[in-house]
Amino acid sequence: MLVSGQGTTLQALIDACAGPAFPARLAIVLSNVPGVYALERARRAGIPAAVIDRYAYPSTGAFETALRAALDGAGVELVCLAGFLRILTPAFVDAFAGRLINIHPSLLPAFGGKGMYGDRVHAAVLRAGCRVTGCTVHFVTAVPDSGPIIAQAAVPVREDDTVADLAARVRVEELRLYPEAVRLFTEGRLRIEGDRVRTLPAPVAAGPGVGDRAGGRPQEAGAAGTPGTAST
């Protein structure tokens, strides 16, 4: 998981992964910003955590090479961005194509793109007089906030809302929606078809004695479409 801040979304995934029925585990947390609280959350949960600071590397390419090495070394199969305040290069995105996801605090494609994050998004929603907003989990592509949409949740915008009011209402849905999107990926239920994502029906539970999936060791997932236990 890639983070840059306090780690509230990270905490939602830590809590989800602690459930015995949740089909994923957090393999590593990487921050591009030293000292953020997200790192402490990871350490308290016993999850390996490290800082990979862009300014410690001579180029963006070298920085992303270090990110990739850490993710690959941890055996990561799904990369989750959670408040990661850097735009990743097309080379990095291509390396994790179909297994790199992000959450954005609006109903994309509205209020997305470069420079649109956090309270900037909510302020823009209020200025536009929107009656509804929300959040979106999507696959990451080379164009910021433009990848195929996995899931969305909507909330009302009230007449007297402040930016803080709206952010808090959207945040509740973000913390619910992101673990659900990770679950869908890990269960192999997401199929990218062009610019869209099709969500497949939940698999029918197998009866006893049908191999590892029924009663033995969970399989490790490789890519979207392969059910099992994924590492994020």
DSSP state of 201: P
What separation, in Å, do the N-terminal and C-terminal C-alpha atoms of the chain show? 6
Query: C-alpha distances in angstroms, 32 versus 2, 86, 88, 127, 160?
Result: 8, 8, 12, 31, 36
Given 41, 99, 104, 122, the catalytic residue? 104
What distance in Å separates the CA atoms of residue 71 and residue 56, rounded to the nearest whole number?
Answer: 18
What distance in Å separates the CA atoms of residue 127 and residue 129, rounded to the nearest whole number?
Answer: 5
For the chain, what percentages of helix, strand and coil (3-state, to nearest 5) are there?
A: 35, 20, 45
- Tokens, residue 43: 């350490």
104 is an active site residue: yes
Which positions are catalytic? Answer: 104
